[in-house]
Structure formats: structure tokens, C-alpha cells
């Protein structure tokens, strides 16, 4: 790291490629970037590295914007909002890279290569067969296009390669790892035949042009850093500080990939109903230690729940874990459940609403009574869900017509021979209780949780002598259509007397018909 890095305003960037659903690693890097930038009073930049045109997907860029915004990882400059170093898409910066390439060619630090892909493939296979180090054999070095055309494997459109010297630097200082050694680099292609720069040139030029002081990326880029350091030195540019984060790994300790793991897609977490604050907390714990506090007994204890503001306040590169963490979904589920339980009921209802609308449980413009019922049901399910999607089947029966409620096969199958008797007794004891479905409970209305529970326990548990589980199972099935549901008596109160009685009657009659 050069001295000029420390004297410049802190500027960090994340630079994802729009090649499909955003990778969870984009959020992982972004939160560390943003935490340090905010702690130091600097800026956080979003740059789109779209030079890989073969894998480019047009809708991916918007997904990057949407998912990072969903997580609250906002940027100060980027393609969507502009900034003093625009444009922020590499495909719009092609004229920026060409002068750097021409300078390297003129100074003999780069050269044209006309080798076809087939020729390069044969070269690598031959090197591997002979157990030689793989790397470009410099067939094109020092030759004109005419001279090279006389040899096999010639392409009329050349690429440009770096000419790596024998004394190329192979060590550098890393903010997380200290002194790091990397392999001697190959003659890396820096300009492709289509005129687009490769990552290695573009990242150096863009980071310099945009004043980036700290480059944070995955540890898989350690082997490429000597190439970048060499380009900084050749071009006389100040080097940024490097921080190579540990790779996120799956349960088999392999680098996570979108091809193998659905949760490698950043959009997956939103689809599954994880809260952004829980995901940020989880990602922080993958690369950073928990908060250490003093317990009541004076002993040190770990606290794993913390928000992004606290993470930012205590951030220190020296504390970042250097060992690739295992992506433990059980820990994420635990955190998500904790954050769900901590939400105010109205806030949780608001977060559940889009999932219910997507599932067709509620329409695009819910009525005030529907929203009021949602708040009441949310309070029932809040402690029973780990993700927002888990609430959908629990809430759906409250918005289903009594005649349309489907009884799940597993719920129907667990009914005992006493179910018809239980339902008949329940209907008899509930009938005298006053109550009007769909209206707020008020003075003189007895259709309350307490009144319902008292009546049913007296009639079924005490009167029929049936154990509570067997006594209330048929009622739960009739009311919700499922084996697992929100608390029974509270559900009956929310549904109202009319719907509750209709559902109990329907199942009772079905059972009676099948027993005849």
C-alpha cells in the first residue's frame, strides 16, 4: 500500500457482473465495504463490470440494484444515480482503457497475440501432458502480424497480453492477512479481440480513475493481485490497499456457487421470506466475530445479534476471519426467527402482505377489514414462523370462504373415531355464545377467546372425558383445514361465530355422511 492511499479520502467499491441472479457474495462484500466507508466518513461506489458479453444478462443489473437496496446497502455513486466519475458501467468506458493499452504496448510492457483458441487449448494440453507449468509460450512475442500469419493457429484479430518480467512482484500487503505471497503471474490478456478489456486491466484503470483507496474482494483473487500491482507500477498509479475476504463455503467446504446451491442467489433469500436485517447479521458473523460483552457474573459472553450500525461502529479489518466460513442455514433461520419475534406486530403484518398477495391470499388492494384481520392473525403466528413464507399457509384459512376451505389429507387422516362426537358437542356448547362475525368485539359480545376456551374445555375435556389433544384436534382441522395452525381459540375469535360454526358443521356433516 502506498503512502498516498492513507492520505486520500476513503473510497470503496463493489463491482458485480450482471451475469444472472446476483450472488450472495455481492452482498457479503458490499456490507464490509459500506461499513468501513461509513466508519471512515468515506464513499461507497457501485460499479457494473459488464465486459463479459458472452454471459451478460440484461435484467441482472436491475436485480443487483433491487437486492442491495432491499438489504439497505445503499451507494453514493453508481450507474443509476451517477456521480463525479461516471459512467459506472465498464461497457460505457471502453475509450478510457485504450490509451492505457497503447501506452503499455509502446513501452514494450505488452504485446499483441494472434493465437486462436484452438491453438491455446492444444498448448495447455501439451504442457499438462509433459507436466510442465501451464502458461502462454510467447509464440507471438516480437513478431509482426505478417510473421505470425506464417505459423499455425493464427487469428486475424489479436488480443493484447502483459509481458511479465522475470522479477515480477509476487508479494503484497493485505489488510486482513498481512504479508501475502502469490504465484508468479502468466502473460495475462488485458484486451480481448472484441475490444473489451479483461477484468485485470479494467479493474486497475477503473479503480484508479474513480479514486478507489481500498479494494475488497474474495480470496480467489489473491493469485491475480501481482498482475494488478504490476500494472499499477507500470502505469505510475498509486496502489490501493487490498483486503481479500474469506470465501463463503457450502456444507462440503466447497466455494458456494449458484449452480449447486440455490441460496447462493441473493434473490433466493428475499423469495424465501428472510428479513434483510437478519441476513446482514448472518453475513457479518460469517466473516467477523460476535460482540464480546461482560455478563452479570463478570464473565465474557458472546452476543451474536447486532445491527449494521453496531457492526459499522466496531469494524476493524484486523478482526476479519481468514478461514472460509461454512454457510450454516440453521444459524440464519435462528437469527431470522429472532428478528421476526422482535418486530412490532403492525410492521410484521406489512412485511407479510406482499407474500400473501403473491400467493393470492389477498388481493392487490386489501380492504381495511382485511388488513385489520391480518394484524390480528399476525400476532397469532409471530412466534410460530422462521421465515415470512411460512406464515402464508397459516394465514390463508382466515381469508378462505367457509365452503372453499380444503381439509388436508394428513389432517383428515389423523382424525379419531370420536371426531364426529366432538364436533357435535362443540357446536352445541358454542351455539349459545353471542357473537357476530366480521365485526369488532365490543360490550355485550361474548364471542371471545376466553369464553370459547372455557366452554369447549367444560364440554369436551370435562364433559366427554377426552384428552385435550384429541378433543381439540377435530376442531383445529375443521377451522384451519390443517394439522398445524395458529392457536385454536384465538383463531375462532378472529374468524367470528358464523364462520367457525359453518366450518365445524361442514366437517361434522362430512364425517357423518362417511360413517353411514
- Ordered by start, the domain boundaries in the chain are 267-397, 407-515
- The residue whose grid cell reads 502458461 is 135
- Work out the angle between the directed axes of helices 24-39 and 60-70 (0-180°, nearest 10): 50
Return the pLDDT at 254: 77
SS3 for 19?
coil
> Grid coordinates in use for 97?
482503457
Mapped onto helix, strand or coil, the DSSP state of residue 386 is coil
pLDDT of residue 19: 86
Q: Where are the alpha helices (DSSP H) in 210-344?
A: 225-235, 266-271, 276-287, 308-313, 329-342
Which residues lie below 8 Å from residue 123, measured CB to CB, with a gap of 6+?
A: 115, 136, 137
User: What is d(CA 111, CA 293) in angstroms, rounded to the nearest whole number?
Assistant: 58
Instruction: Enumerate the H helices of 186-224 as residue ranges.
Output: 199-209
Instruction: Give the residue carrying C-alpha cell 459488464.
Output: 50
- Is residue 258 marked as binding? yes
Of 255, 258, 331, 497, the active-site residue reads: 258
498: helix, strand or coil: helix
| Dist. CA 351–CA 508, nearest whole Å | 36
161, three cell numbers? 497480453
pLDDT of 57 reads: 84
Q: CATH number of the domain at 407-515, out of 2.40.50.140, 1.10.10.350, 2.40.110.10, 1.20.1630.10? A: 1.10.10.350
Distance separating alpha carbons of residues 297 and 257, to the nearest angstrom: 44
- pTM check: above 0.85: yes
Starting at the edge strand found earlier in the chain, the sheet holding 171-174 runs: 43-46, 11-14, 214-218, 241-245, 171-174, 178-181
H or E stretch at 28: helix 24-39
Joined together, the cell numbers standing for residue 323 give 478461514
Question: What is the rounded CA–CA span in Å between residue 101 and residue 39?
Answer: 36
- What pLDDT, on a 0 to 100 scale, did the predictor assign at position 323? 85
Quick one: CA torsion of 289, 291, 294, 300, rounded to 10 degrees?
Answer: -10
pLDDT along the chain (516 residues), means of 10: 58 93 92 97 96 82 95 97 95 94 98 97 95 93 96 96 95 95 94 92 96 95 96 97 91 77 89 97 93 78 92 95 87 97 98 98 96 97 97 97 94 92 96 65 71 95 90 95 94 96 96 82
Residue 65 — φ and ψ, nearest 5°?
-55, -50
283: three-class secondary structure by DSSP:
helix
Is there a contact between 287 and 245 (Cβ–Cβ < 8 Å)? yes
Grid cell digits, residue 164: 511479465
Alpha-carbon distance values, 16 to 23, 24, 52, 65, 202 (Å): 8, 11, 11, 11, 13
416 is catalytic: no
CATH 1.20.140.150 fits domain 267-397: no
Instruction: Please provide residue 113's backbone torsions phi and psi, each rounded to the nearest 5 degrees.
Output: -130, 125
Q: CB 314: neighbour CB atoms within 10 A? A: 14
* Cα–chain center distance at 329: 12
CA dist 514 and 516 (Å) reads 6
Amino acid at each position: 500500500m502506498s503512502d498516498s492511499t492513507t492520505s486520500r479520502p476513503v473510497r470503496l467499491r463493489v463491482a458485480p457482473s450482471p451475469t444472472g441472479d446476483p450472488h450472495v457474495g455481492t452482498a457479503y462484500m458490499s456490507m464490509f465495504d459500506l461499513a468501513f466507508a461509513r466508519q471512515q466518513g468515506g464513499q461507497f461506489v457501485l460499479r457494473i463490470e459488464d465486459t463479459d458479453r458472452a454471459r451478460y444478462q440484461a435484467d441482472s443489473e436491475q436485480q443487483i440494484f433491487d437486492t442491495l437496496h432491499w438489504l439497505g446497502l445503499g451507494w453514493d455513486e453508481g450507474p443509476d444515480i451517477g456521480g463525479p466519475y461516471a459512467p459506472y458501467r465498464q461497457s460505457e468506458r471502453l475509450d478510457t482503457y485504450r490509451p492505457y493499452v497503447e501506452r503499455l504496448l509502446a513501452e514494450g510492457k505488452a504485446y499483441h497475440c494472434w493465437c486462436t483458441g484452438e491453438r491455446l487449448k492444444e498448448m495447455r494440453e501439451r504442457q499438462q501432458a509433459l507436466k510442465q507449468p501451464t502458461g502462454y509460450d510467447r509464440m507471438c512475442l516480437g513478431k509482426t502480424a505478417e510473421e505470425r500469419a506464417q505459423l499455425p493457429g493464427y487469428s486475424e484479430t489479436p488480443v493484447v497480453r502483459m509481458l511479465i518480467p522475470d522479477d515480477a512482484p509476487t508479494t503484497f500487503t493485505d489488510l486482513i492477512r498481512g504479508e501475502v505471497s502469490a504465484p508468479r503471474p502468466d502473460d495475462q490478456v488485458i484486451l480481448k479481440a472484441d475490444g473489451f478489456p479483461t477484468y485485470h486491466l479494467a479493474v486497475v484503470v477503473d479503480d484508479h480513475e474513480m479514486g478507489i483507496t481500498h479494494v475488497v474482494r474474495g480470496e480467489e483473487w489473491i493469485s491475480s493481485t501481482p498482475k494488478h500491482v504490476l500494472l499499477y507500477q507500470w502505469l505510475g498509479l498509486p496502489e490501493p490497499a487490498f483486503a481479500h475476504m474469506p470465501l463463503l463455503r457450502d456444507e462440503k467446504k466447497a466455494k458456494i456457487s449458484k449452480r449447486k446451491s440455490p441460496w447462493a442467489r441473493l434473490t433466493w433469500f428475499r423469495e424465501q421470506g428472510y428479513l434483510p436485517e437478519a441476513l446482514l447479521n448472518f453475513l457479518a458473523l460469517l466473516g467477523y466475530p460476535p460482540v464480546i460483552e461482560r455478563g452479570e457474573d463478570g464473565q465474557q459472553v458472546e452476543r451474536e445479534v447486532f445491527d449494521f450500525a453496531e457492526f459499522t461502529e466496531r469494524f476493524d479489518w484486523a478482526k476479519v476471519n481468514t478461514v472460509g466460513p461454512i454457510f450454516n442455514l440453521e444459524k440464519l433461520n435462528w437469527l431470522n426467527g429472532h428478528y421476526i419475534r422482535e418486530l412490532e406486530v403492525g410492521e410484521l403484518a406489512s412485511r407479510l402482505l406482499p407474500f400473501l398477495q403473491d400467493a393470492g391470499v389477498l388481493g392487490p388492494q386489501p380492504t381495511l377489514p382485511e388488513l385489520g384481520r391480518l394484524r390480528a392473525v399476525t400476532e397469532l403466528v409471530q412466534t410460530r414462523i422462521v421465515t415470512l413464507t411460512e406464515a402464508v399457509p397459516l394465514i390463508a384459512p382466515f381469508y378462505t370462504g367457509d365452503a372453499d376451505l380444503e381439509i388436508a389429507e394428513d389432517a383428515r387422516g389423523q382424525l379419531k373415531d370420536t371426531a364426529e362426537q366432538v364436533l357435535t358437542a362443540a357446536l352445541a356448547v358454542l351455539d349459545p355464545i353471542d357473537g357476530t362475525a366480521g365485526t369488532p368485539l365490543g360490550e355485550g359480545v361474548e364471542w371471545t377467546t376466553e369464553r370459547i376456551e372455557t366452554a369447549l374445555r367444560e364440554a369436551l375435556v370435562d364433559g366427554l372425558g377426552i384428552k385435550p389433544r384429541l378433543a381439540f384436534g377435530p376442531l383445529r382441522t375443521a377451522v384451519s383445514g390443517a394439522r398445524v395452525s395458529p392457536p385454536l381459540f384465538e383463531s375462532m375469535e378472529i374468524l367470528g361465530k358464523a364462520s367457525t360454526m359453518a366450518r365445524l358443521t361442514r366437517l361434522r356433516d362430512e364425517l357423518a355422511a362417511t360413517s353411514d
